Amino acid sequence: MSVTNRRHRFRPYALSLALLCAAFYTTGRAEEQTTGQSADQQAQRLLASRCSVCHSTDLVQQQRLPRDRWEATVSKMVHWGAQLDKEEEALLTAYLANYFHPEAGPVVEWPTIPLSGEEPGSALKQAGIATRGATIYQQNCLPCHGEAGKGGMGPKLSRNPILTQADRFRETVVKGRGAMPPWGSVLQAQEIADLHAWLSTLPE
């Protein structure tokens, strides 16, 4: 053992940068993959939307694993309920093995990626599609608002009066409130509309 090199430090700015990038690039939509994003961007979006359902992604970024361990870990997560199809699983595994490998050292710098042209969370123009909303809910809201919007650490959303005021709903989701994080940089207007449509179908 090297007596002087043992300590491992996780530098704060790398983590914040990662979260920042991740937050800007998450919508949880697989279709996005065809819209010209780099593989890294797609992977970051998957990490921030699909992997954060059960735990924060700091658990992911503190690992330094060889490719076979990443394969085993991601496939275990899929087995346990992470929503990734085969293609997404391969893409994310490659990204994790590229950045968070055993030789990466204590600090991993994420590449800075320019913002996408689409303005996230902008005014709700299209009608929401309830079936899509269910998936978006599962990936982003379920850990706090519970199965079928029945409530958990966050309030019950099924039959919540706020659903009758689409604008107030959208604003609350975009800006966040109290312990509820803002979703404006994560979800796009259509996705918030989809969520609203799905939540409105829920029984008591």
Partner 1 sequence: MTDRNGLLISRRSLLAHAVGGLAFALTANRLRAATAPLETEPGAHEANSLLTRVARPLDAETPPQAFTAWLTPNDRFFVRSHFGPPAPELVAPAAWRLHLAGLVERPLSLSLDDLRRFDEVTITAVLQCSGNGRAFYRPKTPGVQWERGAVGNAQWTGVRLRDVLDRAGVRPPARHLQMGGADRPAVSDTPLFLRSIPIEKALHPDTILAYRMNGEPLPLLHGAPVRLIAPGWMADSCVKWLTDLTLQAEEAQGYYMQTAYRYPSRPVGPGDAIAQQDLKPVEAMVVNSLIAHPQQGATLSRGHVMIQGLAWTGEGRIVTVEVSTDEGRTWEAAKLVGDDVPYAWRQWQFLWRTGGPGSRTILSRATDDRGQVQPMASPWNPGGFLWNGVDQVQVQVREA
Out of ligand HEC, partner 1, none, which partner does residue 102 contact, by CB within 5 to 8 A per kind?
Answer: partner 1
Which residue spans within 99-142 are E strands per DSSP? Answer: none
Q: If binding is defined by CB under 8 A, does position 156 make contact with partner 1?
A: no
Nearest residue (beta carbon) to ligand HEC: 178
Per-residue binder mask for ligand HEC (CB under 6 A), 36-65, x = binder: --------------xx-xxx---xx--x--
Q: Are the C-beta atoms of 196 and 163 separated by less than 8 Å?
A: yes
Contact with partner 1 (CB under 8 A) among 38, 39, 58, 115: 58
- Look up residue 3 and give its amino acid: V
Whether residue 172 contacts residue 162, with contact meaning beta carbons closer than 8 Å, is answered with: yes
DSSP state of 161: G
**What residues have CB less than 8 Å from 61, skipping those under 6 apart?**
15, 18, 100, 108
Question: Are residues 187 and 140 in contact, defined by beta-carbon separation less than 8 angstroms?
Answer: yes
Query: What dihedral angle (degrees, nearest 10) is formed by the CA atoms of 172, 137, 41, 78?
Result: 150
DSSP state letter for 100? S
CB of 103 to ligand HEC, least distance (A): 18
Tell me if 134 contacts ligand HEC by CB under 6 A. Answer: no
Q: Taking CB under 8 A as the rule, does residue 20 contact partner 1?
A: yes
Q: Which does 166 bind (CB under 5 to 8 A by kind): ligand HEC, partner 1, none?
A: none
Binding flag, residue 154, partner 1 (CB under 8 A): no
Among 195, 197, 198, 200, binds ligand HEC (CB under 6 A): 195
- Could you tell me if 195 and 141 are in contact, meaning their C-beta atoms sit under 8 angstroms apart? yes
Give the footprint of partner 1 on this chain (CB under 8 A). Answer: 1, 3-4, 6-13, 15-17, 19-20, 23, 53-56, 58-59, 62-66, 69, 73, 79-81, 102, 142-143, 152-153, 176, 178-179, 181-182, 185
